[in-house]
Chain A
């Protein structure tokens, strides 16, 4: 008995919405199995992983705090992914944004006006854009794969950060630890909810999502990018600039990653250290896909991904499991999403239908 995949006459709209849900459900199911296999009570594990972290105000604030950079970066990446511009180096652009913004914050030590923060955010965006501009330029000019170049640059970026916090920017009063001075009050994001770490960068994230949605779905440039991603030859035929598409695609992700980087170091971390991101740049790629490259989906997916991060930390404390379990779940979620996405355009059929229903052939 064999089954085969048969192309649907039209893509299934229902599956478009259900597929991320199916993927999330499958991830949870496999999670159950994994917990059991590791000798943990699956229900207790489920509670520790998914429920416990958000059962207090502080927990919810942490959830949103982590979701903010994810949704910001994912929207920026989605602009590019829709155009087949694969910015995989968001992690490195995040670091460079943090370096640029953080450097400015250190420079403005002692300032006390609100405009400093605005300058820092802009610096972060520019820093991320500059790092993303390298693969964009190399692809446009030399046709070099932006996937590989942007990836290589993530390794270089973390080495740059390491150099700075071990060397010229190290806090002289820091007992030789590789870290910069703490940033002044004026150069930090204001806290939104008392007694939590949720700061104003969350509002920036929401604004980015809204602007991103309008850009992708309503603007003409967004249309051009979508055409480039769906049918390259049609974009050329229509005269849409392929090079412009690459620039917009890479710089959108770079700017967003840069601002997210600033959000981290001028937010919960408060200084520059060698490790400022638990892999947000890569997790954002998953968020972008699970969110179907569309703004609303991305918001939901970023909350889910944030929950996976918190769950991993909680699992480490409560179940004595390595926090690397987060990466495991993240990868699985993406796998299941890609798998269930198939059913948008194809459906499962058992071979050899017993009866053939004859209809009039379409002219």
Chain B
């Protein structure tokens, strides 16, 4: 039982970077933009946060640096895909390749630096509850913030006017434009938000989850975040669930390896990736589900007619 609670506590932590990155990408995709550069944005966010924290000793400055770095990368993508009308798939791939290279380059001097592990924040009273206490209320402050983010994104998309406008842009940019909404501007805002969130996800990894820097330390989480958005059929609550499911798979694999299971460590390490494939297949096989929920204009270039 103790092991199970320990697994669940760690699951919440492991899922958090995915929560940030996937919720950010969800908002981006709802506006009709497909940004495949999440992996690159997360890595750049991670190194920016690590560098800032190691220089100032302040975790929150690190998170802020991660946000700015992620948004900066997203801006480059925005210029390419939204203003210059480049193919969104190619631009996103370029962003990832560039982000991987940039973060490796900038991160070289930080490879043997160790940061102080930050403190968990216990919520008074609630943290003393049996079982739920340690799992939900004795987590890092960023974890709590990720839940706040979830609530904000859900409210924004489904209860606010601006969220309605965003969804309409994603569904039919030509109609939104005909009604007078600034399609490109709205998409830029969404893209920058997605970049900032990916940056925070990366920051969480390098400052909190494992407070050190390793080249390529996201290990594909950016891609998993993209798959999560599809798996969640573009709905925030399902993104949250999916993120924790993946966190769970990752953690279980660590525990199994640590417990000396007879299965080869490489097979266990490959579980999150295989799980992603399975999950994608399960959702994609129902084309109606996709057609009813995916933003209609997702990934298509939009040129404001003259």
Contacts and interface: CB of A to CB of B under 8 A. Distances in A.
Given A86-B89, A138-B281, A324 B227 contact: no
A152 interface: yes
Interface stretch (B11-19, B62-70, B218-226): B218-226
B11 to A, nearest CB: 20
Contact of B266 (A138, A152, A163, A289): A163
7 contacts: A142-B281, A145-B280, A147-B36, A155-B273, A159-B267, A339-B79, A339-B80
B76 interface: yes
B145 to A, nearest CB: 27
Contact of B105 (A7, A86, A328): A328
Interface string A61-100: 0000000000000000000000000101000000000000
Nearest to B101: A327
B293 interface: no
A324 B103 CA distance: 9
A285 interface: yes
A341 interface: yes
B86 A339 contact: yes
Enumerate the 7 nearest inter-chain pairs by beta-carbon distance, A residue then B residue, closest first.
A327-B101, A331-B98, A324-B104, A322-B108, A163-B266, A334-B94, A338-B86
In this complex, the interface size class of chain B, counting residues with CB under 8 Å from chain A, is 35 or more
Interface string B229-243: 010000000000000
Contacts of B220: 151-152, 155
B277 A144 contact: yes
A334 B98 contact: yes
Interface stretch (B157-165, B170-178, B284-292): B284-292
Nearest to A324: B104
Contact of A155 (B90, B219, B264, B287): B219
Given A4-B306, A152-B276, A145 B97 contact: no
Contacts of B290: 143
B121 to A, nearest CB: 33
Interface in A143-165: 143-145, 147-149, 151-153, 155-156, 159-160, 162-163
Given A145-B284, A167-B264, A331 B94 contact: yes
Contacts of A335: 76, 80, 94, 98
Interface in B263-306: 264, 266-267, 269-270, 273-274, 276-277, 280-281, 284-285, 287, 290, 303, 306
Contact of A339 (B84, B269, B276): B84
A92 B29 CA distance: 27
Nearest to B224: A152
B24 interface: no
Contacts of A334: 90, 93-94, 97-98
Contact of B94 (A142, A163, A338): A338
A109 interface: no
A326 interface: yes
A331 B226 CA distance: 20
A143 B285 contact: yes
Contact of B264 (A143, A147, A163): A163
Interface string B77-117: 00110011111011101110111111011011000000000
A328 B85 contact: no
A31 to B, nearest CB: 12
The interface centre, meaning the residue of A145, A166, A332, A338 with most chain B CB atoms within 10 A of its CB, is A338
Contacts of B90: 289, 334, 338
Nearest to A334: B94
A341 B104 contact: no
B93 A149 contact: no
Interface of B: 36, 40, 76, 79-80, 83-87, 89-91, 93-95, 97-102, 104-105, 107-108, 215, 219-220, 223, 226-227, 230, 264, 266-267, 269-270, 273-274, 276-277, 280-281, 284-285, 287, 290, 303, 306
Contacts of B36: 147
Given A162-B266, A285-B93, A327 B80 contact: no
A151 B223 contact: yes
Interface-central residue, B86, B99, B107, by most chain A CB under 10 Å: B86
Given A6-B306, A324-B104, A346-B85, A159 B98 contact: no
Given A160-B266, A339-B86, A149 B277 contact: yes
Nearest to B86: A338
Nearest to B274: A156
A213 interface: no
Contacts of A203: none
A151 B223 CA distance: 8
Nearest to A166: B266
B257 to A, nearest CB: 13
Contacts of A289: 90
Nearest to A327: B101
Interface in A309-350: 322, 324-332, 334-335, 338-339, 341-342, 345-346
A282 interface: yes
Most interface-central of A148, A149, A286 (chain B CB within 10 A): A148
A5 interface: yes
